[in-house]
Amino acid sequence: MAEINNNGNGLAVHVRNVSKTFGTGEARIQALKNVDFDARMGEMLMVVGPSGCGKTTLLSVIAGTLQFDGGDIEVFKTRLHELKQRDITEFRKRTVGFIFQQFNLIPTLSLMENVSVPLLINGVRRSAAEKKARELLEQLGLGGREKDLPTLLSGGQQQRVAIARALVHDPKLVICDEPTSALDKDTGAQIMELLREVARHRDRCVIVVTHDNRVFKYADRMTEMEDGRVARVHETYSEYKQDGGI
């Protein structure tokens, strides 16, 4: 697509030597240790690894929701640490769609309003925003539920609302933290098909953190993390399996 600046080399996210520490003294935890990580346009990149190895922390620093201590992160050639907080917010709302591990829906807003938020904060008129939100909710199997509050929904339904909200403004970078954790096998497969379609046919970059080995086969590439580091990068899912992955 013409409006995408993929810098001619297809690189969407470029992380070099990034570290992040939480807490101080005895409670100090180094969640990211000199991490190098790349994600390309048009690909669905999966990030896998044991609980606590730093996956959510990595997603959060790339999305600009968490400050990092050292190193360099470029997202579409924008160096995050050179931006003021205001500009990071602006960058995020235009460029990034984020599916949070805990969904983070706004409990007092209807499904329609929750999904419309990314468009409204980007200045899209309410009627147009609601039309797009309705289409996506329909596509995700939630047609007719637009006026409901999220608290009325099951975990899997809430997760689908969070997915709709992440995609509604057609972001260049879609970051998904366990997007299928609350979904049954078939719904999980549909979501992965949708995310892969977004990556390939709309030439977006989709990064998916997951423990769900049922969906590994949808990966274009796989990055394995261990103890705050990137341990291995596999160019295909088959290569990951050959190297002993499940």
Ligand X SMILES: Nc1ncnc2c1ncn2[C@@H]1O[C@H](COP(=O)(O)OP(=O)(O)OP(=O)(O)O)[C@@H](O)[C@H]1O
Cα separations in angstroms, 246 against 55, 165, 191, 232? 18, 31, 21, 14
User: Are the C-beta atoms of residues 199 and 44 closer than 8 Å to each other?
Assistant: yes
Ranges within 87-116 binding Mg ion (CB under 5 A)? none
Tell whether residue 70 is a contact of ligand X (CB under 6 A): no
Tell whether residue 24 is a contact of ligand X (CB under 6 A): no
- Which member of 56, 158, 159, 210 binds Mg ion (CB under 5 A)? 56
Query: Which token pair is 84?
Result: 């003021």
Beta carbon nearer to Mg ion, 52 or 70: 52
| Total number of residues shown for the chain | 246
Tell whether residue 180 is a contact of Mg ion (CB under 5 A): no
Beta carbon nearer to ligand X, 39 or 111: 39
What CA–CA distance (Å, rounded) separates 25 from 211? 31
- Which member of 35, 44, 57, 224 binds ligand X (CB under 6 A)? 57
User: Are the C-beta atoms of residues 75 and 228 closer than 8 Å to each other?
Assistant: no
Shortest distance, position 143 Cβ to ligand X, whole Å = 31
What CA–CA distance (Å, rounded) separates 223 from 230? 7
Ranges within 35-54 binding ligand X (CB under 6 A)? 51-54
Question: Which residue ranges make up the site for Mg ion (CB under 5 A)?
Answer: 56
Which residue ranges make up the site for ligand X (CB under 6 A)? 22-23, 29, 31, 51-57, 101
